[in-house]
Structure 1
Amino acid sequence: MKFYLETYGCTFNQGDSQIIAATLEKDGHELTQSAAHSDIIILNSCYVKLPTQQKMINRIQYLNSSYPQSKLLIAGCMVDIDPQVLKRIAPPASWIGARQLSSIQEVVEGMLKGETIRKTGHSHDIKAGLPKKRFNPLIHILQIAEGCQGSCTYCCTRFARGKLQSYPDDVLLDEVEKAVRGGCVEIQLTAQDTAAYGEDTGNSLSSLLKDITQVEGDFRIRVGMMHPKSIGGDQESLIKSFQNEKVYKFLHLPLQSGNDQVLTYMKRGHSIDKFKETVRRFREAIPRLSLATDIIVGYPTEDDKAFQDTIKVISEVGPDFLHISKYHHRPGATSSHLKEISHPVMSVRARQLNELKTRLAYQNNQKLIHTVQNILITDKGSRGGWIGRNDSYKTIIVPEASLGEFLNVKITGAKSTYLYGEVI
């Protein structure tokens, strides 16, 4: 059997696709790069935002109508969030929920027999330690936990991913050791909230990081998104972990709004002061830290003052990376009973914030011109050159390099999203 696989969304979802691919190949099935030549088309969906939702619907309808000779399997978050839409747009399709990957063989075998199989709900299977087919052989995605402890009013992803389930640290450590021995030079820790790791088992992210950094080999660790409220009492230990030379000095800490009242409506569980204090402590201990944060523009209770508060906080904090989303109602989210604000107003606010984002990122990158940076090459550029990351996880493009090598480069130019360098 030949199968075709498309993946959308976060790093964790990419890890799920790697598990799907490896599991099916182990059973003797072949991954093909062509939907037209496949027996089964697998679409691993994302459903976090309304534009993504529409993209999924359009893509499923296209695949369903364009390749009638192939059976369609929908995986990922859409399955548990919006099954009614799936029934409407692709009634013959089979489904497998984000927390049902242990059933992938059963689902595929049933499909090959002509059955329509639908597996939904939350199993407690552990994804750690499962074989993964790495689509970049240098980068290993390490799923450390699934689900979260949050109750954010705008979020529908938690209905698909469920409550927090942290994976055993010894299994994770064994997975890292095998990945490094297999030639990986970057380990990407991922979860819906990496800082929540261990809250359900008595472990902690800082302890896990300490163990991983002791694995022999020359590699780097990228820590994924951390909820400000989850850092809590582990903050000082986390900062110490981030100081290790193997850990990228990259902090992804979503703010979502610069107004405390809006954060309360969102049920974020943290304040502006808590966010700023966390950033301050990390930056004091790690001066070369790069900061990524997220903002939702146009939450239903966001008035002009609240938005200006967001502008003020972002201006003060000066993040290196800013992810901006326009608010839209999501299926099952508790904020969806509120009235959305005017979309033209929302667009004006988003444009204003995007202009600030570009200006701040460019200013931060300009400071690196003429400095010498040590970078790790992990990709070839689609338009030429080679792509590396410095220890702050900033993208640096160089004209000549080899995959997997560490290089010292002099920064010669800067854009808002990346830098140019020359190998020394």
Structure 2
Amino acid sequence: MKVAIETYGCTTNQADSDIMRGLLSRYFELSGVEEADVVVVNSCGVVDITERKIIRRILDLKNSGKKVVLAGCLTRISDMAVKLSDSAISPDNIDRVVDAVFASLDGGCSFIDRRVVDKSRFCRVKKRKKENAIAIISISEGCTGACSFCATKFARGRLRSFSLDGIVEEVERIVKEGYREIQLTSQDTGAYGLDKGKFMLPELLERISSVKGDFRVRVGMMNPQHAVKILDDLINAFSSEKIYKFLHIPVQSGDNSVLQHMNRGHTVEDYVEVVEAFRKSFDDVLVSTDIIVGYPAETEDAFWKSYELLRETRPDIVNITRFSPRKGTPAAKCRDIPGWIKKERSRKLTELVREIGLENNRRFLGKRLKVLVTKKGKDNTVLARTNSYRAVITQGNVGEFRDVEITDCRFNYLKGRPAESKQ
């Protein structure tokens, strides 16, 4: 029997798919969706538009005669998605994916009970698609927060940090396999270890940095309230050559009253302190943040505070999301802002972000930079990353480190040509 996996959403889902792919390969032939008898849909439930897209996809697959196993966040967020599927497995039940596939052929079943599973113990069964030089490792699941707008908490639950030794063992294994970029992912990397009584991210990064080999590590999203508490230790850990100087720190709003209504647990000042400390410590830091526009408590004045915050702190990447009420969350009970206002605010922020991104990238024109080639691009090009994780379109071989001269740029990437070797 042939089984395929379709993955939606974040890098955590991609890491979960690697585990399920390895488990399924022991019993079934892995294939593309067209040839598959059963399709595992690893779903995302961050916004309602994604939920609707996945539900339509489930219907299409069913109409084409395929069995569908629903995995990912929608198993605990969307009753409709679960009902339409033949079987369902929640994120903390992915080790039961084989049973779910067999059950989909015989009446179906749902594995969505709450469990504590240390996913680092699956490092030896993971089956990655060897398409590039990138490997993803989950370091924890769930979070310590209770954001008023977030439905992911329903799916992922409270924080469970995975074994530090197990994570390091997986890093050692994948470096030996030839992967050169390691992406550490979770719902909040800064909270790693808090369920065990202490902040452990700096220690984890130091342990990973001691692993032999030439590789780079991208640390995933961390919330400001945790980053600010471990700032000195965090910067010391990031000082390793093996850690990209990449900081994904979502502020969500530039207005403290909105942040309080969101129940974010941090202030604008926390965000600014972390960003400024990183920029003082390193020659180049790529700063990424998230902004929600049109949140119910966002007044016109609050929106412009977000605008000014971006203009003053000049992040390189801003993920702009129009507020979307999620069933069961406190924010869904609030009066929503008209869609045209959200769209206009999003447009204004997007224009600003593109302007800032272009100005930031122009600083690198004519410079010589060391990059790691991570994946193939279009038209015989490759995607490479600088030490701060800036994207560079150039030529080269996947997995190699090389020097490039920056010749051009856009707001979201650099262009470079291979540099001549220094004599």
Structure 2 unpaired stretches of 5+: none
SS in 2 for 1:221: strand
How far off its partner does 1:203 sit? 5.0
Q: Deviations over 1:180-223 (max 9, x none)?
A: 11111111100000000001113510000000000000000000
Structure 1 vs Structure 2 CA RMSD: 1.2
* Alpha-carbon separation, structure 2, partners of 1:328 and 1:109: 36
SS in 2 for 1:412: strand
SS in 1 for 2:34: helix
Q: Which amino acid aligns with 1:60?
A: I
- The answer to whether the aligner puts 1:195 opposite 2:190 as a matched pair is yes
CA contact (8 A) 2:278 2:285 kept: yes
The answer for the alignment partner of 1:242 in structure 2 is: 238
Q: 1:104 aligns with which of 80, 97, 110?
A: 97
- The answer to whether the aligner puts 1:231 opposite 2:230 as a matched pair is no
How far off its partner does 1:99 sit? 1.3
* Alpha-carbon separation, structure 2, partners of 1:366 and 1:375: 17
* Alpha-carbon separation, structure 2, partners of 1:319 and 1:36: 41
Q: Deviations over 1:80-101 (max 9, x none)?
A: 11124532xx1x5211111111
The answer for the alignment partner of 1:134 in structure 2 is: 128
What's the TM-score, normalizing by structure 1? Answer: 0.96
Q: Which amino acid aligns with 2:259?
A: L
The answer for the alignment partner of 2:115 in structure 1 is: 123
The answer for the alignment partner of 1:215 in structure 2 is: 211
- The answer to whether the aligner puts 1:153 opposite 2:145 as a matched pair is no
- The answer to whether the aligner puts 1:28 opposite 2:30 as a matched pair is no
CA contact (8 A) 1:32 1:38 kept: yes
CA contact (8 A) 1:376 1:389 kept: yes
Worse-superposed segment, 380-389 or 143-152? 380-389
SS in 2 for 1:37: coil
SS in 2 for 1:192: coil
Structure 1 unpaired stretches of 5+: none
CA contact (8 A) 1:80 1:121 kept: no
The answer for the alignment partner of 2:392 in structure 1 is: 396
* Alpha-carbon separation, structure 2, partners of 1:262 and 1:422: 45
Q: 1:415 aligns with which of 406, 410, 417?
A: 410
* Alpha-carbon separation, structure 2, partners of 1:178 and 1:337: 47
How far off its partner does 1:238 sit? 0.4
- The answer to whether the aligner puts 1:49 opposite 2:40 as a matched pair is no
How far off its partner does 1:389 sit? 0.5
How far off its partner does 1:37 sit? 1.9
Q: Deviations over 1:36-69 (max 9, x none)?
A: 321211111001012211211221111111x21x
TM alignment of 1:319-338, pairs within 5 A: 319-338=315-334
SS in 1 for 2:121: coil
SS in 2 for 1:396: strand
CA contact (8 A) 1:129 1:174 kept: no
Q: Which amino acid aligns with 1:97?
A: S
SS in 1 for 2:27: coil
How far off its partner does 1:122 sit? 2.3
How far off its partner does 1:383 sit? 3.7
SS in 1 for 2:69: strand
Q: Deviations over 1:14-36 (max 9, x none)?
A: 001111111111x2311111x23
* Alpha-carbon separation, structure 1, partners of 2:284 and 2:73: 36
* Alpha-carbon separation, structure 2, partners of 1:383 and 1:355: 28
The answer for the alignment partner of 1:71 in structure 2 is: 67
Q: Which amino acid aligns with 1:207?
A: E
The answer for the alignment partner of 1:6 in structure 2 is: 6
* Alpha-carbon separation, structure 1, partners of 2:21 and 2:81: 26
TM alignment of 1:170-181, pairs within 5 A: 170-181=165-176
CA contact (8 A) 2:202 2:237 kept: yes
SS in 1 for 2:417: strand
* Alpha-carbon separation, structure 2, partners of 1:86 and 1:384: 42
Worse-superposed segment, 351-360 or 102-111? 102-111
CA contact (8 A) 2:75 2:82 kept: yes
SS in 1 for 2:169: helix
What's the TM-score, normalizing by structure 2? Answer: 0.96
* Alpha-carbon separation, structure 1, partners of 2:379 and 2:52: 29
* Alpha-carbon separation, structure 2, partners of 1:179 and 1:119: 30
The answer for the alignment partner of 2:164 in structure 1 is: 169
CA contact (8 A) 2:315 2:356 kept: yes
% same residue: 38
Worse-superposed segment, 375-384 or 387-396? 375-384
How far off its partner does 1:137 sit? 5.1
CA contact (8 A) 2:228 2:270 kept: no
SS in 1 for 2:221: coil
SS in 2 for 1:99: helix
Total equivalences in the alignment:
415
The answer for the alignment partner of 1:259 in structure 2 is: 255
